[in-house]
């Protein structure tokens, strides 16, 4: 009974002294707290959208003192960009999402509800986005070279320029090339430790058009995170083809059959028209009476 009276008193006091912005009660816990990280652009995400409360994010290297991101204190958002504060890429981090009162609103709570994230190690867990690459075919058509652009990441070097995957992973960064003839469904693969990938007569047939996909490969990672996102498909130009190679026997045969069909139809229509004309002329002559001599 005494506890109920205290609660009622507190609520009445908050109503009367509204300018103090006092609130009491609990707040919903954050749900589905998870990490989303691509090319070291790392977001902490959660649900639901708040309506009369806010969220504060605390993070730390596992076992160390927790810190705040100034942009994620009593926020109404459901994500927090931690890219610039997770500076030790090989460290393992954890985070808490606290449910708190709105900005400039006080509360009689001393311990706010919170939800913890899973542990996250940027070096091992960030997803690697699709790389860009260019294709160069040698003059003799016997060699194709792929020039892969190491994907940029959401971190800057001392010259305030974006770092690349090569800056972080160094020799660990490899590329997996998947390729095949443009006219075939068969595929081959080739691994390269370099961003400049050469394919010669051991890999390709001279003068033939090939289509390529490239993706980053980090062998030290767990199996499900070794490969990055697959690049867009690009095809090399082939040698000049003959008329038959360009269109194929099937297309040419179909075209010839179409032409023959059109000719036959034209002949049939002409014959029918001629027959009808002759018949009309004959009928007309039979209907005219003979002149008297």
* pLDDT for the residue numbered 284: 59
Where does residue 29 fall: left (phi above 0), alpha (psi -120 to 50 degrees), or beta otherwise?
beta
Backbone φ and ψ for 170, nearest 5 degrees, come out as 50, -125
**83 Ramachandran zone, left/alpha/beta (phi>0; psi -120 to 50):** alpha
pLDDT of 3 strictly over 50: no
Residue 53 token pair: 């409360």
pLDDT in tens, 75-127: 999 999 999 999 999 999 999 999 999 977 777 677 899 999 999 999 999 99
pTM: 0.69
Cα separation, 113 vs 99, whole angstroms: 6
Local confidence band at 19 (pLDDT 50, 70, 90 cut-offs): very low
pLDDT at res. 157: 81
Q: How far is CA 202 from CA 144, 158, 190, 233, 281, in A?
A: 11, 43, 11, 22, 77
> What does the pLDDT read at residue 154?
87
d(CA 147, CA 212): 12
**DSSP single-letter state for residue 90:** T
Residues 241-292: pLDDT tens digits? 545 545 567 777 788 888 898 998 888 888 777 877 777 667 655 555 545 4
| Contact call for residues 39 and 83 (beta carbons, < 8 A) | no
How far apart are the C-alpha atoms of 161 and 231, rounded to whole Å?
Answer: 24
CA 89/CA 72 separation, integer angstroms:
21
pLDDT tens track for 120-156: 999 999 999 999 999 999 999 999 999 999 999 988 8
Q: What is the token pair recorded at 187?
A: 């595929």
Residues 172-228: tens digit of each pLDDT: 999 999 999 998 889 999 999 999 999 998 999 999 999 999 999 999 999 999 999
pLDDT-derived band at 23, boundaries 50, 70, 90: very low
pLDDT for residue 55 is more than 50: yes
Helix (H) or strand (E) holding 268: helix 243-286
The count of other CB atoms within 10 Å of the CB of residue 153 is 23
CB 131 within 8 A of CB 175: yes
What residue ranges define each of the domains in the chain, with the CATH number in brackets?
A: 21-125 (2.60.40.10), 132-235 (2.60.40.10)
Residue with tokens 């971190």: 155
d(CA 269, CA 19): 96
Continuous segment of H or E residues that includes residue 32: strand 31-38
How many other C-beta atoms are found inside a 10 Å radius of the C-beta of residue 41? 16
């Amino acid at each position: 009974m005494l506890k109920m009276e205290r609660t009622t008193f507190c609520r009445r006091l908050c109503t009367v002294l509204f300018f103090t912005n006092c609130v009491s009660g609990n707040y919903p816990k954050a749900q589905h707290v998870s990490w989303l990280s691509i090319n070291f652009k790392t977001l902490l995400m959660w649900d639901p959208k708040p309506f009369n409360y806010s969220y504060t994010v605390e993070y730390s290297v596992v076992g160390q003192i927790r810190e705040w991101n100034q942009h994620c204190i009593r926020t109404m958002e459901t994500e927090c960009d931690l890219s610039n504060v997770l500076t030790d890429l090989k460290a393992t981090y954890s985070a808490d999402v606290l449910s708190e009162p709105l900005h400039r609103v006080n509360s009689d709570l001393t311990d706010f509800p919170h939800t913890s994230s899973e542990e996250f190690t940027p070096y091992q867990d960030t997803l690697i986005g699709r790389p860009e690459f260019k294709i160069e075919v040698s003059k003799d058509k016997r060699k194709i070279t792929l020039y892969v652009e190491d994907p940029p990441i959401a971190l800057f070097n001392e010259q305030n320029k974006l770092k690349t995957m090569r800056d972080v992973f160094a020799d660990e960064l490899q590329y997996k090339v998947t390729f095949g003839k443009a006219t075939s469904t068969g595929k081959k693969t080739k691994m390269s430790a370099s961003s400049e990938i050469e394919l010669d007569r051991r890999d390709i047939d001279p003068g033939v058009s090939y289509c390529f996909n490239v993706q980053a490969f980090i062998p030290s990672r767990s199996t499900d995170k070794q490969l990055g996102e697959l690049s867009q498909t690009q095809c090399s130009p082939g040698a000049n083809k003959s008329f038959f190679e360009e269109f194929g026997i099937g297309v040419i045969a179909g075209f010839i059959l179409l032409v023959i069909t059109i000719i036959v139809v034209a002949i049939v229509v002409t014959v029918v028209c001629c027959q009808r004309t002759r018949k009309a002329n004959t009928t007309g002559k039979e209907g005219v009476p003979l002149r008297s001599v």
